[in-house]
Amino acid sequence: MRRFFFRLGVLGFLLLPFALSGCAGLWTNAREVEDLLVIQTMGLDDDPAGIRLTLASAAGLHADGRPLRMEGRGPSVTTAIERVRSLANEEDLFCAHISHVLIGEATARRGLDRELDYICRSPDLRISVPLYVLRGGEAGEAVLNTGDERFGICDALDAVDGDLKRRGDGRVFSAAEVSQELARQGSALICAVALLPSASQETPQEGSPQGAAETMAREGAPSEPLMTVSAVGYGVLKDGRLCAFIDRDKAVAVGLLRNESGPCELVVTDRAGSRVTIALERGETALRPLRDGDGQLTGLELELKAEAALSETGAAGEADAGELTALAEAALSERAAAVLQLSKQLQADFLGLGPRVERADPAAYRAQPPFDELLAELPIRLTVSVRLVRSSDLEDARP
């Protein structure tokens, strides 16, 4: 018996290097990372067959460096992916690193229950994957047509995410956040993007033979412009369905009302007709529920406070600090009032006011009707105050 265990131990020791060799070991279904095509963007659209699926890799991951774009259809997302795999020739698709899911507008208006259910249950996708809705088009159009051989939809959405993180007038929500807000308050926001011509259009040098030839080619048969995607605000989801959009100029008010605002710019016009750029550096909104003697909710008081700095003035700019403060307060009041009015009109608490009312008095909140039913007729008093913390006034620097 001891000889048997000794031989078994020796055999295990001899097999140890193979077991530790990773993908090239004894497991025949494993693959080397270098042999995988990593998919980073998924597009989802409704289709007569059930669903239209589009997939894209980032630039540099394909054998020749160009982003690879693929398309498949099927009665379900899982079936569509398997059909894409079967038509991918020698490519071994790897979907566990998908970092963007783009959904077409028509599909979002039908409802996102199927898409969210797949993302939350799929072993290949992270529930924290960011979601986008393509305003005015199908996701497949953007996945297949964005960019060229040097960059594609993955790079464009990475740029959108980075731009929104630097600014305070937008945000990308994950599938987990959207699902959580829909379950908790019946409504949620989703980042909206649009397919637009890229600013990175190649311009041949004047006078060069190549430039002349390309100019003639453009005049004879105009080529398609390079396309990209850009953030255009938010989509509003109610009961899982897209029901409205919030333009990007009003998205700054969304961040302030949700207490998620970051630095962003606000452009106003002074009394001389010059355009003045004011940088909002930080801001937040305090909420106070108003109740009667019986504890019934009778209204809300919202106090929005922001700090700003003068960033840029026109050649004829003559506004003083008081006027700039008033202009900024008026601009923010208009945007915030428009967002609140949309929330009341849709009876959709996408600003998360209900949970804040609940935290103020949980017992009274549970005794009242659902907050979204009260929202349409609930009086909301909004006050906005802006403090100019830095003007960089050149007049102060003159002797």
DSSP 253-318: HHHHHTT----EEEEEE-TTS-EEEEEEEEEEEEEEEEE-TT--EEEEEEEEEEEEEEEE--TT--
Please enumerate in sequence order all residues whose Cβ is within 8 A of that of 80, keeping only pairs 6 or more positions apart, or say none.
Answer: 50, 51, 52, 53, 72, 73, 74
Quote the CA–CA distance of 286 and 258 in Å, as a whole number: 10
For residue 340, the model assigns a pLDDT of: 97
Please enumerate in sequence order all residues whose Cβ is within 8 A of that of 205, keeping only pairs 6 or more positions apart, or say none.
Answer: 211
The CATH code for residues 263-399 is 3.30.300.210
pLDDT category at 188 given cuts 50, 70, 90 is: very high
The two structure tokens encoding residue 203 = 């311009």
Radius of gyration of the chain (CA): 27
pTM value > 0.95: no
pLDDT > 80? residue 2: no
> In this predicted model, what pLDDT tens digit does every residue of 252-262 receive, in sequence order?
999 999 998 87
Quote the CA–CA distance of 213 and 281 in Å, as a whole number: 49
For residue 213, the model assigns a pLDDT of: 40
For residue 208, the model assigns a pLDDT of: 44
Each domain of the chain, given as residue ranges in start order, spans 33-248, 263-399
The two structure tokens encoding residue 274 = 């010059």
For residue 33, the model assigns a pLDDT of: 45
